[in-house]
Structures are given as C-alpha cells and as structure tokens.
Structure 1
C-alpha cells in the first residue's frame, strides 16, 4: 500500500464550501416555485372575478357598471393581496357581454424588473327575453 502525504488526504472545509454553494441555489428554486404558484393562483382569482362580473352584467337589467362592481367585490374578497392593482373592463352590447380582469402579481423574489401579470376574460351572450317564436315581446 502506498502511503500518501497527510496533506493530500485532508478535505477539511469541503462540506462548508458545498453548503455555501448548494443552499442558496435550493432557496432560489423554492422561491421560484412559490412565485409561479402565486401567478397560477392570481390567474384563478382573476378568472373567478371575471365570471362573477359576467353573471352580473349579462342579465336582462344588468349593466357594465354592475359587472365592474361585482368584479371589484370578488377581488376584494379573494385576491386583494395576491393580485395587486387590478383593473376591470366590462363591455355590454345588445348581443354580447365581455369582462376582462387584469392585475399585477405580488412579488416574492426582489428581482428588479420582474413584473408578473395575471389576466382573465369572460364573455357570453347578453340575456334578453323572447317569446317562444323568437320575437321580442
């Protein structure tokens, strides 16, 4: 058996060096997972608000303002911290009603320039009362 000099066999500090390299990388990956989970959640919040607003705006006596008010109520109840600076636009015509909800997702990573957005749209026919023959009363 060949005896190596004692200086070549010592690995003192190797675990600390590996820890210093690996732990920040793992923390960054974990924060990225959390950030994109928040984006996914914010999109669902925006979709829910858009659907609720569409349901309010497309009724026979509903207006685009009713839809916007309903979307604001839904956003306040669900996503005031996740979906920041939300904007709601509602359009209502005689045939179609469309609602769009957009906002900025809260940031977990303090990366300059990282601005993530979430948006959703809901659209459907405007309700109108008709007779069985298809004529309006």
Structure 2
C-alpha cells in the first residue's frame, strides 16, 4: 500500500494535459470546419453575382469579399478571393487559413464554386 503513494498525482499530471490537448484539437477542428463553410458561402455568393447575365469577375470578387468581411473576422484569416469568367462559365475561389487554437498548427481553407454563365437565348420557334 505504501508503494502506491503519489501514483494518482502522477497520473493526473499526465492525463490532464492530454485531455486538454484533445479538447483543444476538437475546438480547432470546429473552427476549421466553420471557416470552410464561410469560405464556401462566400464563393457561392460571388459565383451567383459573376455568372449573372451582365456579371463580371470584379463583381463576383467584390460580392465574395463583402461576405467575408461580414462573416469571417474570427474563424478565417488571410482570405484571398479569385474570380474567373469566360463566355460559357464562371468560377470563384476563396482560400485562407483557419484561426489557430493549437500552437504551430496552420490549417488551410479552400473553397470553389463554378457554374455556367446565364445568357438570354431567344425562342426561335415563334410559338
């Protein structure tokens, strides 16, 4: 019995930091997931603007950046928006880094939305 003295304290010294690390890892994953959802929402919103009939890449980038400015001040840092539009399709890419809770951990965030450009096609049948 006397040989077991202090074993509970030693176990707590080892288990408490591991438990704290597991909780912080869970919080880090939640922040990364939230940042990814925000980036995807911004890319989708930018695409909706860029692919409109009279839309432009600048308008798509601006719309995505405005949404990021409103939503991403906490979970997403260093965000960059890039838009592209051709005669047939448009795409918006958002990238950045999730806010770090764990030291020395930097999780990248990428989201992309793409779709066809809206255009007016007249009815040729004259029905």
TM-score (norm: length of structure 1): 0.87
RMSD: 1.2
SS of 2:77 mapped into structure 1: strand
1:37 is displaced (CA, Å) by 1.2
Q: Which runs of 4+ in 1 moved over 4 A?
A: none
Gaps of 5+ in 2: none
Gaps of 5+ in 1: 1-8
Q: Does 1:15 align with 2:3?
A: no
Deviation string for 1:10-57 (max 9, x for gaps)?
Answer: 222111111101000000011011111111111101100000000011
Query: Aligned pair count?
Result: 124
1:79 is displaced (CA, Å) by 1.0
Q: Does 1:69 align with 2:62?
A: yes
* Residue number among 22, 27, 38 corresponding to 1:29 in the alignment: 22
Correspondence 1:1-137 to 2 at 5 A: 9-10=1-2, 11-111=4-104, 114-133=105-124
TM-score (norm: length of structure 2): 0.93
SS of 1:23 mapped into structure 2: helix
Deviation string for 1:64-109 (max 9, x for gaps)?
Answer: 0000000111111111221101000100111000110000111001
